[in-house]
Amino acid sequence: MGLPPYLRIASELRARIASGELRAGQRVPSTRGITEEWGVALATATKALAVLRQEGLVRAVPGVGTVVGGATVVPGPPRRGRRRETRELSRELVVRTAIALADAGGSGALSMRAVAAELGVSTVVLYRHVSAKEELVALVVDAVFGEVRLPVCGPDGRRARLEASARAQWALYRRHPWLAKSVSTMRLSSSPNAMRLLEWTVAPAVECGLGTAVTLAAFVRGIAVDLEDPVDERLGLGPDALLEFGLARLLDGLAPRTPERRPPGEGRR
C-alpha cells in the first residue's frame, strides 16, 4: 500500500490497541524499539508515535515511556492547599512534559508544538512560561542534571571523586540518550545544577581546579552524543567500552595513582 511508513506503523500500533493486544497503561514500543522492529529511521518512529499521541490514543509518561491511554493528567507535584482540581500549567509542568517527550521520542521529539500538544494547549501558551525554545532546552537540561544525587561526604581521594563524577554523568546520559545533543546546543555553565556537579567534582579536598572538571565533562559528553543512535560496530567498541577505556586513561593523566604531579594553577574560581 502507498501509505508513508510512519502512517503504516501508526496504524499497525492502532490495530494492536484496538485488538486489546496493548491495553490501557501498557507501554507501546519506544522509538528505539520501533526502529528495530520495522527497520526505519528514528525520525519515522518519532512521527509514528506523534500521530497516536495527537489522536489521544497514547501519552508520554515521565520516566516510563509512551503508554496506552488518552492524554490525561501528567502526574504532578503533591497538591498542597485548596487549589482547584484542574491541572494548572506551570513552567515546571512544561519542563517535565518536555523531558517525558524527549525520553519517549528522542531529541527530535522535543519541540514547542509537541510539548503544547501533549499538554492540550495551544503553542503560544508556552511563551507565557518560557521566552523561547532555547530557554526551554536550558531548563530541561538543568532539571535533568538536578536528578543527580551527590553524596554529601563523597570520596575524598582525587581519583575516586573524579571517577564518581564521571560515572554519575555517564549514568545520566545513558538514562536520557537525547541529553548530550541538547547540552551541545547550550552553555553547560548556565545550568546551576550542572555547575553544582562540576564544583562537587573538584571539592577542596580534591585539590584541583574547575578546568579538571570541565575536561572530564567534555570527554564524557563527547562520547555520550553517540548514545542516541544505534551503534555500528565497525570500530569494535561500543560507547560503554569507549568510556571505560578513555576514562581510565584520562584519570591516569588527571589523577595519577602515585600522586606526583598536581594540575597547574588554573584559578580555583
The residues binding DNA (CB under 7 A) are 2, 4, 47, 50-51, 110-114, 121-125, 127-128, 132-134
d(CA 95, CA 26): 24
Instruction: Kindly tell me the sign of the dihedral angle through the C-alpha atoms of 219, 225, 229, 232.
Output: negative
78 binds a copy of itself (CB under 8 A): no
Residue 40 or residue 68: which is nearer to DNA going by CB? 40
Residue 175 partner contact from DNA, a copy of itself, none using kind-dependent CB cut-offs of 5 to 8 Å: none
Residue 138 partner contact from DNA, a copy of itself, none using kind-dependent CB cut-offs of 5 to 8 Å: none
What is 111-127 written as a DSSP string?
-HHHHHHHHTS-HHHHT
Q: Which residue from 122, 249, 259, 262 is in contact with a copy of itself, where contact means CB under 8 A?
A: 249
Residue 95 or residue 220: which is nearer to a copy of itself going by CB? 220
Per CB under 8 A, which of residues 125..184 are in contact with a copy of itself?
Answer: 180-181, 184
Residue 53 or residue 181: which is nearer to a copy of itself going by CB? 181
Beta partners for 60? 66
CB 107 within 8 A of CB 228: yes
Q: Which three cell numbers stand for residue 123?
A: 503553542
Q: Nearest-CA neighbor of 118 among 107, 131, 129, 109?
A: 109
- Least Å distance, CB 216 to DNA, is 31
Residue 64 or residue 241: which is nearer to a copy of itself going by CB? 241
d(CA 77, CA 145): 19
- The DSSP output letter for 96 is H
d(CA 269, CA 188): 16
- Least Å distance, CB 243 to a copy of itself, is 9
246 binds a copy of itself (CB under 8 A): yes
Return the SS3 of 214.
Answer: helix
Backbone φ, ψ for residue 90 (5° rounding): -135, 160
- Least Å distance, CB 237 to DNA, is 29
Q: Which residues bind a copy of itself (CB under 8 A)?
A: 180-181, 184-185, 187, 189-190, 210-212, 214-215, 218-223, 225-226, 229, 232, 234-237, 241-242, 245-246, 248-254, 256, 263-264, 266-267, 269
